[in-house]
Structure 1
Amino acid sequence: MPEVIADTSPIQYLFQLDLLDLLPCLYGGILLPPAVRDALERGRALGVHLPTVADLPWIRIVEPQTRVLLPLASGLGAGEIQVMALAKETAGHLALLDDRRARRFADLLGVVYTGTLGVLLKAKRARMLDDLAPICDTLEDRGFRLSPAARRALLSLAGEPESPGP
């Protein structure tokens, strides 16, 4: 089972859905670069409902060694850059990215990725979740950008009938 290298967004949304424990169940281990840990800590300090990374024994903080990506990745956050740097350094690892720009850059680098929705779909297929439609509703209520087409595709892949959404 490959380890995953998580960006801030999947950690945030899975935590806010009370589904963060899916990660250690579905993947061999979870790596966070320091920039992601720091972003989570800053968010918590501002009052955002986020996990305390130190309380999650199944997460390892790993500093990327590669700095080459920094000048190439304009418009990306430090966490996204460090996630991709770690993914390039550790073959066979999966990046957890939700941001569209970060995913485009990952495609250019050949980094294999999924996101919050991919984790939820994997959990549904593993029979760890019953229905994704209400989870999609909650995600959208929390500010997750989910187009109607992406919602339909996810529910179709999950074998769920189309629902109207919120």
Structure 2
Amino acid sequence: MNAPGVVVADTTPLNYLIVIDRAEILPALFGEVLIPEAVIEELRHPKAPLAVSRWLRKLPVWLRITPVQHLDETMRLGKGENEAISLALERQVKVVLMDERLGRGAAETRGLIPVGTLNLIDLADEQGLLNGIAALHDLRQTTFRADPELLRRFEARMKARQG
């Protein structure tokens, strides 16, 4: 995937990349990351992981909190997913970072390209930005949920890439 220059992120991919200390792949892969206000609110939740709370104390220059002007209320999604998709459509950004199945489906229906946490790790591994196997190992130590078979496929692809 060529870096589009700007993407919109939902909470989950950003949260888990911060937790496993790999958020720096985002500007390397995409440049600027826009997040709607609902996403920053979710990241600032009192029960958010300590790593996320610490990371939020000084937001990186590549992350921009961007208000949504026209919320698409026809989607029956969480506030973060709804605002992320609405923001991507509003700003004509094609790529939205999102893990939740319903949100990904809603994004695709609207012509967007959803990219999940596993895809991000795979892309970064492919481009030599991180060790994907190590990142997957760290991700498995968190509360991240994915189909075990899907995790195995990503891991096999990364192992094959290593030769």
TM-score (norm 2): 0.85
- Counterpart of 2:92 in 1: which secondary structure? coil
Tell me how far apart the structure 2 counterparts of residues 7 and 18 of structure 1 sit (CA, whole Å).
17
Counterpart for residue 138 of structure 1: 138
How far apart, CA to CA, are the structure 2 residues paired with 1:40 and 1:117?
Answer: 19
Please state whether the residue corresponding to 2:160 is helix, strand or coil. coil
How far 1:6 sits from its partner (Å)? 0.6
Question: Quick one: which of 36, 39, 45 aligns to 2:39?
Answer: 36
Structure 1 stretches of 4+ moved >4 Å: none
Q: C-alpha separation between the residues in 1 aligned to 2:48 and 2:94?
A: 32
Which residues in structure 2 correspond to 1:93-132 (within 5 Å)?
A: 93-130=94-131, 132=132
Q: 1:149 to 1:128 in 2, by over 3 A?
A: same
The residue number in structure 2 matching 1:164 is: none
Q: Which moved more, 1:148-157 or 1:6-15?
A: 148-157
The equivalent of 1:158 in structure 2 is 158
- Which residue of 10, 14, 18 corresponds with 1:11? 14
CA drift of 1:160 comes to 3.5
CA distance in 1, matches of 2:122, 2:48: 29
Residues 37 and 65 of structure 2 are in contact (CA less than 8 Å); yes or no, is this contact kept in structure 1?
yes
5+ residue gaps, structure 2, are none
* 1:58 pairs with 2:65: no
Structure 1 residues 53 and 34: alpha-carbon distance in aligned structure 2, compared to 1, 3 A threshold: farther
Match of 1:127, SS state, is coil
Equivalent residue pairs, number: 155
- Counterpart contact for 2:35–2:84, Cα < 8 Å: yes
Task: Give yes or no for contact 1:140–1:146 (8 Å, CA) kept in 2.
Answer: no
Q: Secondary structure at the match of 1:158?
A: helix
- Percent of aligned pairs with the same amino acid: 29
Q: Alignment partner of 1:46: what SS?
A: coil
Displacement of 1:112: 1.1
**TM-score, normalised relative to structure 1:** 0.84
Unmatched tracts of structure 1, length 5 or more: 162-166
Q: Report the secondary structure of 1:30's partner residue.
A: strand
Q: Check the 8 A contact 1:5/1:96 in 2, yes or no.
A: yes
Q: After superposition, give the CA deviation of every residue in 1:79-132 in whole Å (9 maximum; x if it has no partner).
A: 1001101111222431000111111111221211101111111110111123x3
> In structure 1, how many angstroms separate the alpha carbons of the residues matched to 2:85 and 2:69?
11
**1:160 alignment partner, SS class:** helix
